[in-house]
Amino acid sequence: MSWYEAEAYCNWLTARWRDEGKITADEQVRLPTQAEWEQAARHGAPAPKDAASDYPWRGPFEPWRANTEESDLNQTTPVTMYPDGRTAGGVWDMSGNVWEWTCDLHSQDSDGDPWYRLKGGAYWSGADLARASAADWSYAWSGFDVWGCRVVVVPISRSA
């Protein structure tokens, strides 16, 4: 999934959920910022002093909690496959499986093309990249089977 496909999905879901009455006209579905993503991965707690425990389960890495290189599956898995990797608030699959697009721009290349931040790691990346603090970035048009998205519902800002 490319960043643009993730954005299109958010726009589609906003319209659908408004039609179904699941969100109001003053709300929208969008990609999270890096800060919002990290807040969800840490269940609102601050980053731990020991980076080795900066995982959604707030402890050291254990391969049975996340689909990373260490699990040796070499493919994506259903979100519910790692229940012991959930956050204290019950958010699933914040470490490993697929990198998740955020709405935070990392940079623009010399042609002006945007590169956006990704969070969470993937099945082919190691445990260090599955920490809440870890991030990667990619060109917005590129999409691979290891890139996906998570969405948030937020009020629409009316400020300039």
Select 3-48+63-155's CATH number: 3.40.50.11890, 3.40.50.1220, 3.90.1580.10, 1.10.287.70. 3.90.1580.10
Q: What is the mean pLDDT of residues 34-54?
A: 95
pTM for the full model? 0.92
Give the number of C-alpha atoms closer than 13 A to the C-alpha of residue 86, restricted to the C-beta side: 10
pLDDT band of 143, cuts 50, 70, 90:
confident
Q: What is the mean pLDDT of residues 122-141?
A: 92
Give the largest CA-CA distance in the chain.
48
Please give the pLDDT value at position 54.
96
pLDDT in tens, 24-34: 999 999 999 99
Please give the pLDDT value at position 158.
58
Write down the domain spans for the chain. 3-48+63-155
Give strand ranges (E) for 20-150: 27-30, 99-108, 114-119, 135-139, 147-149
pLDDT in tens, 80-126: 999 999 999 999 999 999 999 999 999 999 999 999 999 999 999 99
Q: What percent of the chain is modeled with pLDDT above 70? A: 98
Phi, psi of 45 (to 5 degrees): -80, 155
